[in-house]
Amino acid sequence: MSTDYPGKWRFLTNPDYCSIYRVPNSIRRVNPEAYTPQLVLIGPLNHSLKSLAYKSLGDITNTKSTGYLNMEEYKKIYLEKFKQEVGDLAICMYRRIIEDDEAKIRECYSESTAWIKSPDFVEMILHNCVFVLQFILRTINKAREKTGDPLIDVPCLRITVKRDLILLENQLPYFILNKLFHTRVCRGRSFRELIIIYFGLNGKIDTNSKFSHFTDLYRCAHTETLKELTLGNYEQVDHMQSRP
């Protein structure tokens, strides 16, 4: 009998959807912190870090785990404030959209998420999506006055969250964020335009470029701005001497 667990590999039923996976250990071990969220955990691939954080509850010397737990509470606060703005019906609509796309969302991850029950998975995606959307909007619309939200008011926290949002293992599928964003009556910029501004990628990505998530957005921007390699006149090397 097969048992599902975090980190379990799976055969993909639709490889075209899959775009979110773990950084190979051969790369991660060079600098693990570079691939580990420092403050906010997004999506199912970092669920084990969340579980460890809850096990260390009360240990204030473990500052990273404390930060993770604080952010989990802030996701709830963001969802509650968003609910006050748009009403319960809008939240129900968000939840229904996620439920309808649940299978497709799961297919975006290279590892099995079957160990997460459907209601829990939907709630996780809902809380994470609302947090990401609201955080980006609040950051872009930030005024000089204090908002009372330390994630917006404190520059180092704001920058840390931004960096966490581009980590490969910390991603949500772009399509679901885009769909939820445009479910509301949003005047002005599209979600695509909004995140390009937020990540400072104006003029660095083609208008026709397609990307699967925020990490992929950065990949597109970097590959499209690389200068084309030109062939020059070089002398042919017939023999190369190695050091003794």
Q: Name the one residue in this structure whose structure tokens are 């590999």.
A: 9
Q: Do residues 94 and 129 lie in contact, with contact meaning Cβ atoms separated by under 8 Å?
A: yes
What is the torsion angle, in degrees rounded to the nearest 10, for the CA atoms of residue 169, residue 112, residue 99 and residue 46? -30
Instruction: State how far the Cα of 169 lies from the Cα of 55, in Å rounded to an integer.
Output: 21
Q: Do residues 76 and 128 lie in contact, with contact meaning Cβ atoms separated by under 8 Å?
A: no
pLDDT score, position 191? 95
Going from the C-alpha of 125 to that of each of 22, 26, 120, 173, the distances in angstroms are 18, 29, 9, 10
Give, for all 244 residues of the chain, the pLDDT tens digit. Answer: 457 777 787 877 777 889 999 999 999 999 999 999 999 999 999 988 888 898 988 888 889 999 999 999 999 999 999 999 999 999 999 999 999 999 999 999 999 999 999 999 999 999 999 999 999 999 998 888 898 999 999 999 999 999 999 999 999 999 999 999 998 756 678 999 999 999 999 989 988 899 999 999 999 998 887 755 555 565 665 655 555 5
Instruction: State how far the Cα of 40 lies from the Cα of 29, in Å rounded to an integer.
Output: 21
Q: Do residues 53 and 68 lie in contact, with contact meaning Cβ atoms separated by under 8 Å?
A: yes
